[in-house]
Structure 1
Amino acid sequence: MKRIHPNRCRRAALTVLLSVFSAVTLPASAPRSPQQTANTKPTLHFRPQDAKAGDVIPFYWKGDYHLFYLKGPDWAHVVSRDLLRWQELPNALIKGSDPLGPDWESIWTGSVVEHGGTFYLFYTGKNSNDPLGDQKVMQARSVDLIHWTKHPEYTFYADGKIYWNKTINGAIDDKQIYHHQAFRDPHVVWNGRENRWWLALHAMLADGSAPNVGLYTSRDLTHWTPHAPLVVYPASVSGDCPDLFELNGLWNVNCADYHYMQVRDTGAIDPPVQPYDCGDLRVAKTMSDGKRRILIGWIGDYKNDSDAGEYEWGGTLSMPRELYADAAGQLYQRPVREVVRLFDRTALREKRVGLNTRYDLPENYMLTATLFPQSGFGQATLRFRESADRTEGYSLTVDFQTGEIGIGSRYRTFQRKCGIDPYAPLKIRLFVDGTIAECFVNDAYCFTMRIYDSLGTGVSFRSTAPGLTVKDLVVRVCE
């Protein structure tokens, strides 16, 4: 199933058609720590061999980076110690078996936390046949992160007073599309200032007037109290799969379509929605390892594995990125150091690059280069996977006058306005790996795109900006 594919980075309503997802195994008698095998091959982009990867639920615990993710009817589970070598573990959850039960149709996105030696997994139970409600918050528990036991006795539904519940409030098909008829995607975090747990989720006001990021609180992760929403936003915003976290003293809510909102006080009405990425990245979520906040999402497949195809739900996981904030709270991304270190052999080094000079490169690589603008206007373009006759290729284009940067192909372009100085050096870091390109400008502004078509192996720089020079072109590959 698929999402609507935008042609530009913007605030957009993305209709989410989700597949069926997951449930449980019996608890183990003792915890065990996953070990990586010596011959495990590192990868920038994890993907299961027999399926697409969907929404990611990351969780860090004592040196291990866990990724739970939606895979077919299940919650799948992989783990790594270095963010590059992933060990597949048994599925964490499978959907229920009771046709009238809370999670018989599907299991959807959620989150994982630890408290008092127990791990708590919160997820969305989906069943339109459930007489108490289509979507609800459910819980499973584990002592080792591998074997999970469901606890349906702790399931809760929208209250019908603050948050809409069809069983209580009636149908709202005349007011809202199904995407926003929601009570799903629970994300649980500890709020140290309030000394209680917060649970944020995609919800609808009880009168059906507006979607929102709903808020529940708890002292014990079992009994939850509804509160006024964290954020109320118009139907043009896709606020599903909220990822709630604090950076530099500000609470941020990352949404499914690579946009985020900042919450300074609960009850915010239509706050600014800003991009932290641009392109094909979807449903990215974060985890903290105590030193940095790491973000991973999925990069959707295109129909028929072609640039001309329609964007589809699910695909390959993105490379791990570090999400960070400046003093004002603006969010940016850069590659994690483990990824950069993976590219340990130099394939090309040019101190000064001639404009319109074409270089042949390996199929996969990390490219870095610095642009030196002089005039404050005009454009510069990096062409990659360029054909031998130079008529086709993918491109990253910087407009120094408007501050817009875009990545694109002959079929689409993704653009966003970036806070760049039109006279300052501009560093480009481009990763090309199989059918995925991820580009970081000044290790801050990130662009993500699928690149299916086999056009060529060339790279070149072009410019209409007077006096612009390109220096320090370095291309590295993995041994």
Structure 2
Amino acid sequence: MRRGLRAILVTLFIGGTIDGFPAQSEEPPPLRFRPSVGNLADTIPFFWKGEYHIFYLHGDIGKVPWEHIVSTDLLRWKELPTALVSDGDPDGPDGEHMFTGSVIEHDGTFHILYTGWNPRNKEGREWVMHATSPDLIQWTKHPEHKFRADGEHYQNTDFRDPYVFWDRDEKQFRMILCARDAKTGTPVQGVAQSKDLIHWNQVEPLELDPPLGKGTPECPDIFKIGDTYYLIHSPSAGTTDMRYSKSLRGPYKSPTTTAIDTPILYAAKRMFDGNRHILTGWLRDLDGAKDDGGFRWGGDQSIPREVYPGPNGQLYFRPVSEVLGQYSKSLLDVESTDPTGNAPYDTPRDYLLDCFIDMKGASEVSVVLRAAGEGDAGYRLTLRPGKQEAAIRGTNFEYARPVTFETGKPIHVRAFVEGSLIECFINEAYPFSCRAYEHPDGKLAFEMIGGAAKVNKLAIRTR
């Protein structure tokens, strides 16, 4: 993992607190959490007794620690004491960065398995490390439990980001990791197993069909819905991707749409609250605050998203109801309109767009957010049902990927336009996110190619 270098300040919660959480006032909470200094990188979500805990890597501040925030409603986040810091020997595994891992509870004790990353460590750059806590707040490290790649199954190079879960069928703990095959050096999803969370036995990697490309599969997450296992991981410097299998060991196949979102979302993982799987990740900062700037490590927390299964191994993603419930102020409600020739709609800087688009004869429709003047200014969510594809694009960038559209069915679009970020959702299933640094405001417009289209139930709301 690499760290970004740019810091953006955000407004923190103000006012009193109720039971330690920010008070609910007339001012809505920030839509996305970001620390006041530095940025938010890899998130490690964990649900426990009605509280949504997110541990995260704190980027852009030097040596990377694990920070900790908690919420009861996925809206208002309380900052808790730092969980893990660099406090070991300068050339040891705890001497530089505390990188990604996971949290699990067992017999009344909470366990963190994390990555100790230190390029000065002559015995290996990456080690799996262990810490425990009685309360999720105070953590004790156990450096005596550390281990690295065994050289038989995995190379002692990339060996990080352990995700740990209990395998009920085999009655043991499983760990999946970002790794490389010991003989070939090709990226693999490594596996280890344990009876006690202390002693780990490395075994053959998960079977992936097709195999991974060049990127090592960072920040893995594995879970089961119904009779299907799902694997989420982030091949380095790319997108967060998904796979599925009928067996825990695989083979894990790729659905029609592999990426969860555009490359702006990275290192996304999820937690289960007893009813829903909730996904969170980070939305990238870009070099120079330019819409087409180089990718940075870290950014802002994404809107929490509910994960649910679609057909043929596909996972779908929609904004959680708690976020939607914040948008209670209506600025525009139009039952049905033909936008051909209509003047653009005035919008505030920050808002939620909600509408249904009937393509009719059009081969392509673009929803233009923050449209400004002539030309390509603004941000376009472009729907191409004939190609089974959609894209979000600006003047100098475009992120496109496959989307399954049902013939003749209106297309539901939601777009959260807030600050320097836009998060769109197509049919409550396909997210498309981008940075929006260069056009901080503008109007809403619609563009059509190949014929007419109709926009139904057009609504603009604010918080």
Give a deviation string over 1:95-114, Cα, whole Å, max 9, x none.
13312322212211000011
CA deviation after TM superposition for structure 1 residue 342, in Å: 0.6
| Counterpart Cα distance in 2 of 1:390 and 1:437 | 20
| Counterpart Cα distance in 1 of 2:109 and 2:20 | 21
Which residue number corresponds to residue 431 of structure 2? 446
Amino acid in structure 1 at the alignment position of 2:50? G
| Counterpart Cα distance in 2 of 1:391 and 1:251 | 42
The structure-2 alpha-carbon separation of the partners of 1:222 and 1:52, relative to structure 1 and needing over 3 Å to count, comes to same
1:214·1:231 contact (CA, 8 Å) conserved in 2? no
1:469 and 2:442 correspond: no
Select 1:223's aligned residue among 196, 199, 204: 199
1:270-285 matches, within 5 Å, as 271-272=253-254, 274-285=258-269
Three-state SS of the structure 2 residue aligned to 1:275 is: coil
Which residue number corresponds to residue 97 of structure 2? 106
CA deviation after TM superposition for structure 1 residue 279, in Å: 3.9
Give a deviation string over 1:399-443, Cα, whole Å, max 9, x none.
121111000100101001111023211110111111111111110
1:133 and 2:130 correspond: no
Select 1:255's aligned residue among 233, 243, 259: 233
1:348 and 2:332 correspond: yes
Which residue number corresponds to residue 314 of structure 2? 330
2:351·2:417 contact (CA, 8 Å) conserved in 1? yes
Q: TM-score, normalised by structure 2?
A: 0.89
The structure-2 alpha-carbon separation of the partners of 1:19 and 1:244, relative to structure 1 and needing over 3 Å to count, comes to farther
Select 1:56's aligned residue among 23, 32, 43: 43
Give a deviation string over 1:353-386, Cα, whole Å, max 9, x none.
22342101111111111111224x6101110101
The structure-2 alpha-carbon separation of the partners of 1:379 and 1:186, relative to structure 1 and needing over 3 Å to count, comes to same
1:366·1:476 contact (CA, 8 Å) conserved in 2? yes
Three-state SS of the structure 2 residue aligned to 1:338 is: helix
Give a deviation string over 1:298-334, Cα, whole Å, max 9, x none.
0111112121422211111101011111253311100
1:106·1:125 contact (CA, 8 Å) conserved in 2? yes
Select 2:420's aligned residue among 407, 410, 435: 435
CA deviation after TM superposition for structure 1 residue 389, in Å: 4.8
| Counterpart Cα distance in 2 of 1:238 and 1:421 | 34
Which residue number corresponds to residue 286 of structure 1? 270
Which residue number corresponds to residue 160 of structure 1? 151
Compare relative contact order (CA 8 Å, sep 6+) and give the higher one, 1 or 2. Answer: 1
2:3·2:296 contact (CA, 8 Å) conserved in 1? no
Three-state SS of the structure 2 residue aligned to 1:153 is: helix
Select 2:390's aligned residue among 388, 396, 405: 405
Three-state SS of the structure 1 residue aligned to 2:334 is: strand
The structure-2 alpha-carbon separation of the partners of 1:34 and 1:129, relative to structure 1 and needing over 3 Å to count, comes to farther
Q: TM-score, normalised by structure 1?
A: 0.86
| Counterpart Cα distance in 1 of 2:44 and 2:133 | 16
CA deviation after TM superposition for structure 1 residue 36, in Å: 1.0
The structure richer in strand per residue is: 2
Bigger drift between 98-107 and 46-55 goes to 98-107
Which residue number corresponds to residue 280 of structure 2? 296
| Counterpart Cα distance in 1 of 2:333 and 2:106 | 50
| Counterpart Cα distance in 1 of 2:168 and 2:93 | 32
CA deviation after TM superposition for structure 1 residue 65, in Å: 0.6
| Counterpart Cα distance in 2 of 1:344 and 1:262 | 37
| Counterpart Cα distance in 1 of 2:282 and 2:440 | 24
Q: Structure 1 stretches of 5 or more lacking a match?
A: 1-15, 21-32, 166-180
Which residue number corresponds to residue 351 of structure 2? 365
State, as a whole percentage, how many aligned pairs show the same letter. Answer: 36
Three-state SS of the structure 1 residue aligned to 2:204 is: strand
Aligned length: 435
Select 1:316's aligned residue among 282, 288, 300: 300
Give structure 1 regions of 4+ aligned residues with deviation exceeding 4 angstroms: 265-271, 388-391
Q: Structure 2 stretches of 5 or more lacking a match?
A: 6-17
| Counterpart Cα distance in 1 of 2:120 and 2:246 | 38
CA deviation after TM superposition for structure 1 residue 277, in Å: 1.6
1:19·1:106 contact (CA, 8 Å) conserved in 2? no
CA root-mean-square deviation: 2.1
Three-state SS of the structure 1 residue aligned to 2:318 is: strand
Give a deviation string over 1:227-272, Cα, whole Å, max 9, x none.
1101453443441111122223222221122212224446657843
